[in-house]
């Protein structure tokens, strides 16, 4: 039995696809081992959102070769999709596979052949079957792939192709399978999740899908992945409010709080609309965790434009931020824009945003002290259980192993950094 190790970089979609590859390989007789151990085959499932993730892919490939000079090393994922030539030039790499090739990993992994399909020609999303996941309590389920937005800074549409959705019946089946195998929470993931169902015949929507899963009471907890601000409807928010299963958690890619920067980015909303949305979310879901993505140092970003972003974030009740220093991606419109911001300025602006993010998260956590939280217990050790609340808070409390993979109601008593004690 050959040993395979898989390293995963990037988004929840990549994590889901790695889980699917692991399941395929195990069903074909391979043994899965940690990436830090000796293996016969190493697979790096890459991300290419930033230059940093590209560098991390190359680092993992070199590490794998040091671990076993005789191993077969395979690169796949988004970096492999958009820049296969760069990875093919690495002497450590034996094969480069595109994103579409992940569904046939057991057929391709031994060939040592570079295979990268033209993902731009894909018009349908295949339902990747998945029965197990790396976590024992929560699982991701990919319901959509690709993106039609072509924001000026983003390489993802070239790495993932056009927006395409998994058929509703296949999604429902996927949720049922994971729930039947003991997963108490399922996270719906996609590249452009809010675009779910638009191209299906007849058309449907993310809201309709979520409502259907909720009404069938298939799973104890349902969580929605990242969704574009202009695609969050009152109907979705009210469904979340009325449901006993949908978690009060939203992640909204802001990217900038400056209208002029948003326009250059090719985003389809204004800063005031984002502000109004977050306030409306909190009115309907007062306990909701609301996270956001923001890019520091987009080309041409002036001090005034950065100040507008900082002030917007300070003014709205966000719970956390993912801060991305702008990374120039060859092939995107932003890469050729004038007035690229100096690296030192980008770094400093990102630092200021991360400081603000820390303040926002502490305010959100402190606001939950004294409240009851429903916590899905993920692990227990030495009489202390650790889990995740429905509104996305890391929580620790006294308990025992028998509580693992059950939902417990606790009262938060204090905060220890980014964790609540209960």
State the number of CA atoms in the 13 A half-sphere of 85 facing the CB. Answer: 0
Last residue of a domain, one of 208, 226, 247: 247
The closest of 263, 270, 275, 258 to 349, measured between CA atoms, is 258
Q: What is the DSSP string of 75-118?
A: EEEHHHHH-HHHHHTSTT-SEEB-SGGGGGHHHHTTT---B---
Last residue of a domain, one of 247, 270, 296: 247
- 130, 243: one domain: yes
- 89, 179: one domain: no
Residue written as token pair 């009262």: 411
Write down the pTM of the prediction.
0.94
Does residue 99 belong to any structural domain of this protein? yes
- 215, 125: one domain: yes
Q: For the chain, 422 residues long, give each residue's pLDDT as a single digit of tens.
A: 899 999 999 999 999 999 999 999 999 999 999 999 999 999 999 999 999 999 999 999 999 999 999 999 999 999 999 999 999 999 999 999 999 999 999 999 988 899 999 998 888 887 777 777 777 899 999 999 999 999 999 999 999 999 999 999 999 999 999 999 999 999 999 999 999 999 999 999 999 999 999 999 999 999 999 999 999 999 999 999 999 999 999 999 999 999 999 999 999 999 999 999 999 999 999 999 999 999 999 999 999 999 999 999 999 999 999 999 999 999 999 999 999 999 999 999 999 999 999 999 999 999 999 999 999 999 999 999 999 999 999 999 999 999 999 999 999 999 999 999 99
- 176, 155: one domain: yes
pLDDT for res 6: 98
Does residue 254 belong to any structural domain of this protein? no
Does residue 303 belong to any structural domain of this protein? no
- 22, 139: one domain: no
- Domain CATH number, residue 126: 3.30.750.210
Please count the structural domains in the chain: 3
Question: Residues with Cβ < 8 Å from 388, sequence gap 6 or more?
Answer: 138, 185, 375, 376, 378, 394, 395
- 103, 127: one domain: no
Q: Residue 264 region, left (φ>0) first, then alpha (ψ -120 to 50), else beta?
A: alpha
- 173, 242: one domain: yes
- 71, 186: one domain: no
Last residue of a domain, one of 226, 247, 268: 247
Pairing, β 372-381 against β 407-411: antiparallel
- Domain CATH number, residue 98: 3.40.50.12160
* Cβ–Cβ under 8 Å, residues 48 and 159: yes
- 137, 99: one domain: no
Question: What is the widest separation between alpha-carbon atoms in the chain?
Answer: 60
pLDDT for res 231: 96
- 135, 214: one domain: yes
| CA–CA dist 161, 153 (Å, integer) | 16
Domain that holds residue 389: 372-421
Does residue 212 belong to any structural domain of this protein? yes
- 78, 142: one domain: no
């Amino acid at each position: 039995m050959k040993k395979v190790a898989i390293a995963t970089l990037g988004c929840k979609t990549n994590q889901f696809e790695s889980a699917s590859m692991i399941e395929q390989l195990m069903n074909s007789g391979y043994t899965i081992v940690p990436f830090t151990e000796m293996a016969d085959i190493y697979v790096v499932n890459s991300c290419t959102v930033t230059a940093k993730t590209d560098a991390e892919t190359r680092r993992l490939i070199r590490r794998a070769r040091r671990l076993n000079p005789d191993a077969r090393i395979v690169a796949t994922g988004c970096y492999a999709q958009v820049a296969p030539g760069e990875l093919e030039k690495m002497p450590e790499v034996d094969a480069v596979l595109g994103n579409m090739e992940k569904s046939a990993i057991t057929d391709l992994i031994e060939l040592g052949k570079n295979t990268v399909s033209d993902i731009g020609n894909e018009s349908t999303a295949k339902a990747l079957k998945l029965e197990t996941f790396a976590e024992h309590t929560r699982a991701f389920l990919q319901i959509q792939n690709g993106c039609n937005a072509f924001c000026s800074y983003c390489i993802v549409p070239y790495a993932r192709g056009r927006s395409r959705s998994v058929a509703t019946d296949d999604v429902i089946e996927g949720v049922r399978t994971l729930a039947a195998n003991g997963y108490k929470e399922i996270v719906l993931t996609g590249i452009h999740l809010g675009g779910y169902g638009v191209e299906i015949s007849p058309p449907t929507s993310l809201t309709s899908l979520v409502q259907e899963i909720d009404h069938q009471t298939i799973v104890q907890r349902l969580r929605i992945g990242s969704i574009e601000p202009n695609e969050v409807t009152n109907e979705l928010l009210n469904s979340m409010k009325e449901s006993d299963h949908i978690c009060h958690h939203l992640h909204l890619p802001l990217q900038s709080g400056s209208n002029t920067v948003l326009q250059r980015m090719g985003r389809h909303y204004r800063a005031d609309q984002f502000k109004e949305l977050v306030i409306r979310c909190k009115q309907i879901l007062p306990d909701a965790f609301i996270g956001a993505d923001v890019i520091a140092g987009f080309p041409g970003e002036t001090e005034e434009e950065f100040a507008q972003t900082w002030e917007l974030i300070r003014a709205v009740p966000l719970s956390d931020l993912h801060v991305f220093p702008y990374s120039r991606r060859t092939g995107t419109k932003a890469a050729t824009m004038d007035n690229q911001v100096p690296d030192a300025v980008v770094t400093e602006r990102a630092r200021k945003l991360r400081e603000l993010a820390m303040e926002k998260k502490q305010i959100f956590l402190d606001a939950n002290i004294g409240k009851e939280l429903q916590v899905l217990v993920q692990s227990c050790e030495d009489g202390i259980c650790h889990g995740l609340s429905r509104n996305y808070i890391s929580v620790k409390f006294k308990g025992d192993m028998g509580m693992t993979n059950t939902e417990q109601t606790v009262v938060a008593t204090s905060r220890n950094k980014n964790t609540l004690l209960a």
